[in-house]
């Protein structure tokens, strides 16, 4: 996966590996579009609660998290890369939240 993401190879998106965010390490992180790509192996089958906590913390830090199983990479690398590219576009197009009202009118 790293060979496909490094050096802007996927649509010019710059990814980092194992970037610390909110006390966790994101597998692959595109800082410019605030996207975290997680690869999960069989050990994650029994770690739903821990993964949910991890995702919630990373999302609270302003990132979107998308997950793929390791076997998705071997069976459909192109589809995974397309999904990552689409997620990056969606994140990039999402409107910035409006600042809170000051209470003065």
Residue 76 lies in a domain: no
pLDDT level of residue 52 (50, 70, 90 thresholds): confident
Residue 96 lies in a domain: no
Residue 48 lies in a domain: yes
pLDDT tens per residue across span 66-75: 999 888 888 9
Q: What pTM did the predictor assign?
A: 0.79
- Write b or e for each residue in 12-29: b if 16 or more Cβ atoms lie within 10 A of its Cβ, otherwise e: ebebeeebebeebebbbb
Residue 53 lies in a domain: yes
Count of structural domains, the chain: 1
For residues 78 and 10, what is the distance between their CA atoms, to the nearest angstrom? 11
Residue 102 lies in a domain: no
pLDDT tens per residue across span 1-27: 999 999 999 999 999 999 999 999 999
Residue 51 belongs to what domain range? Answer: 20-25+42-62
For residues 63 and 29, what is the distance between their CA atoms, to the nearest angstrom? 9
Sign, Cα dihedral of 64, 34, 99, 60: positive
Residue 53 confidence (pLDDT) above 50:
yes
């Amino acid at each position: 996966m790293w060979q496909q993401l490094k050096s802007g190879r996927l649509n010019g998106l710059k990814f980092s590996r194992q970037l610390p965010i909110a006390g966790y390490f994101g597998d692959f992180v595109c800082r410019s579009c605030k996207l975290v790509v997680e690869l999960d192996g069989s050990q994650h089958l029994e770690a739903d609660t821990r993964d949910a906590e991890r995702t919630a913390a990373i999302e609270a830090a302003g990132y979107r998290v998308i997950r793929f199983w390791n076997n998705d990479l071997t069976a459909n690398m192109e589809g995974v890369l397309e999904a990552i590219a689409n997620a990056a576009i969606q994140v990039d197009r999402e409107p910035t939240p409006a600042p809170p009202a000051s209470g003065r009118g």
